[in-house]
Amino acid sequence: MRIASWNINGIRACARKGLGEWLDGCEAGIVAVQEVRARLEQVPEDLRDRNGWHLDLVSAERPGYSGVALFARRAPDSVRSEIGEPEVDREGRLQIARFGSLRLVNAYFPNGNGKNRDLSRIPYKLDFYCRLYDELEESKQRGERILVMGDFNTAHREIDLARPKQNRETSGFRTEEREELDRWLRHGWVDTFRLFCEEGGHYTWWSQRFGVRERNIGWRIDYILASPGAVPFVRSAAIHPEVTGSDHCPLSVEVDEGIFEARPDST
């Protein structure tokens, strides 16, 4: 089965650019989207009730801001969007869904920039990383199958952005942000794309300035991370830069259907 993730930069705008048609043709069973920027009743009807898809959406308290959603060919067994931290929960950045034995986390990690690009949100961003890490750590250590996907708003290594030297002080490539993502990877989380591709030049976000995407001056800031328990079921991973409709492009993994089945030692 294919599982995909995409920061759609506004579900209403992306719907006008063909989101529904892409959903029907993407060959995915589950699609996690971020930066929805709408309440459920504001989502175009053909997406709310699209044939063959179940939709779960979480919006932020602030109108037109943040938000995540899951489109799935079958409804998840459960979905929750709160971890008991009001400063996190009110921004609508998280869904933790259960599909059989797979726990799927759809996350829109904060940008570190404040309103004036003053880096004032970096502490909040790092706190979000830490709270989600702690939320999942016990389950990861038990060997549960977990995929964490979404817009992480951080490029991990120099090969993950086109111009690393010029962006060392830019939120998304600052040392403290990269070190936090590195902590996840040191402690067992696996960057699924890098399991299959070690080459640079593969990006998931481009500035909307004229010609930037065409020249592939981008950043790889969207990921699908797999827990050690999930890694054996991952068969391939891909980035899909040919898909337009947002300043990000989708990414995906192909997983063995066994990832959803009960573990032999489960009770």
Indicate if the pLDDT at residue 117 is higher than 80.
Answer: no
Model confidence band, residue 116 (pLDDT cutoffs 50, 70, 90): confident
**0.85 exceeded by pTM:** yes
The answer to whether the CB of 7 falls within 8 A of the CB of 108 is yes
Predicted pLDDT at 267: 47
User: In the chain, where are the structural domains located?
Assistant: 2-260
Across the chain, what does the average pLDDT equal?
Answer: 96
Fold (topology level) of 2-260: Deoxyribonuclease I; Chain A (3.60.10)
Model confidence band, residue 53 (pLDDT cutoffs 50, 70, 90): very high
Helices 122-141 and 175-186, packing angle to 10 deg: 0
Q: What is the mean pLDDT of the segment spanning 203-229?
A: 97
Structure tokens at 251: 């990414």
Predicted pLDDT at 265: 64
Q: Find tokens 């991973």 and name the residue.
A: 237
151 is known as an active-site residue: yes
Determine which one of 24, 46, 134, 151 is catalytic.
Answer: 151
- The closest of 109, 111, 203, 105 to 159, measured between CA atoms, is 203
Task: Quick: pLDDT tens for 147-185.
Answer: 999 999 999 999 999 999 999 999 999 999 999 999 999
What are the b/e assignments for 154-173, b being 16+ CB within 10 Å? bbbeeebbbebeebeebbbb
